[in-house]
Structure 1
Amino acid sequence: MTAKALIVGIGGTTRNGSSSERLLHQALAAVEASGAETLVFGGERLLFPIYGTAKPAGLELEFIDALRRCDGVVIASPGYHGSLSGLVKNALDYVEELRGDARPYLEGRPVGLIAAAAGWQAGGSTLQHLRSIVHALRGWPTPLGVIANSSLPSCDCAGQIALMAGQLMDFAGAFAASAAAPTKARCVA
């Protein structure tokens, strides 16, 4: 990629310093170290009105514009009762505003996923729900998704975060190169 990639981070909780927020910032630091620019929508910056109840304004429009321009996304959610938080899900519902774009939803964008939960079962199901949502939004989840079990005394995911961030940047570069390449005629049966 010739220009700096823009990676948008989504997640965390309204509790400052939560596990998912720390992991989100760790992932964004890793992509910044690879040369990317980042924007974070986390914690209280995700306190959007419930999607569909009001016309997007202010911070919601900033979020939508950032997603429209981005080359990749990192989503970090706590595992609440075996699934992602309502805060993160509501933010992802705002991706619907990209439905009419030339590149709709998360089309052509790699998405790194992080689930932080107090147990492996909740972490695994949260990660699976995130993958399903990203697929529905036409995004490309990285092969490695990170599960952080916050019930363990040492919850160090630095190696996994670095691998996921590397995959995100590799795929962002590949998608950018593919978009810049001349299109070839396709056979239609």
Structure 2
Amino acid sequence: MTRKPLIVGIGGTIRAGSSSEKALVRALARAEALGAETRLLGGEFLGGLPIFDPRPGDVGPSQQALAEAVRAADGIIVASPGYHGSISGVIKNALDTLEVTRDDARPYLTGRPVGAIISADGWQAAGTTLMALRAIIHALRGWPTPFGAALNSGGAGFDGAGLPRDPKDAWQLDTVAEQVMEFARMTADARTSA
């Protein structure tokens, strides 16, 4: 790959400083350290995204911005809180909005590595939410990374600088970013040589 890969982060909650958005920022920082250009579509962006309407009609500016970011992405990292055993509504709405790419040559998440990060108050919610997100990534034709991060936000959490207090959490987030980068480079190289 001769250019920097673009890794797009989609995640967080509408609450500023959420643990899922902090986790996503940490993973994107690792991707940058590995040579990526990154773009964050965090909680503030997601909170302003209209509810996806599948009927034919106009695509709003924020929906278009999401679609364009995903179209340009070499890899994606999605971070969601675990709400009642599954992903949050704002994350599901963002992923549903990718339906506007259905007629693209490379629709949805096709051919892109997608890292999954879950932050939940308890291990059971983290595990079930991670499984749900990975199933959605598959349905959108993405390639989930072999490792998905499941953080127990009821545990150590993040310090004032937004860094994970638990070294295991930092390792998980770095591993997700590293795998997205590795797959992004491999798929870009394969497209270039084809």
TM-score normalized with structure 1 length: 0.93
Which runs of 5 or more residues in structure 2 are unaligned?
A: 158-164
- State the partner residue of 2:139: 136
Q: Deviations over 1:39-81 (max 9, x none)?
A: 1111120121110176322222111101011101000000000
Q: How does 1:31-110 map to 2 (within 5 A)?
A: 31-47=31-47, 48-52=49-53, 55-110=58-113
Q: Structure 1 70/153 Cα, relative in aligned 2: closer, same or farther at 3 Å?
A: closer
Deviation at 1:4, TM superposition (A): 0.8
- State the partner residue of 1:178: 190
Q: Which amino acid aligns with 1:79?
A: G
Which runs of 5 or more residues in structure 1 are unaligned?
A: 183-189
Q: Deviations over 1:15-35 (max 9, x none)?
A: 111110100000000001111
Q: Deviations over 1:133-170 (max 9, x none)?
A: 00000000100000000112456311111111111101
Q: Which amino acid aligns with 2:40?
A: V
CA distance in 1, matches of 2:155, 2:10: 24
The farther-off stretch of 52-61 and 88-97 is: 52-61
Matched positions, count: 182
Deviation at 1:180, TM superposition (A): 1.2
Moved over 4 A (4+): none
CA distance in 2, matches of 1:165, 1:68: 19
Q: Identity over the aligned pairs, expressed in percent?
A: 54
Q: Which amino acid aligns with 2:180?
A: L
TM-score normalized with structure 2 length: 0.90
Rg larger in structure? 1
- 2:185 alignment partner, SS class: helix
CA distance in 1, matches of 2:193, 2:99: 28
- 2:52 alignment partner, SS class: coil
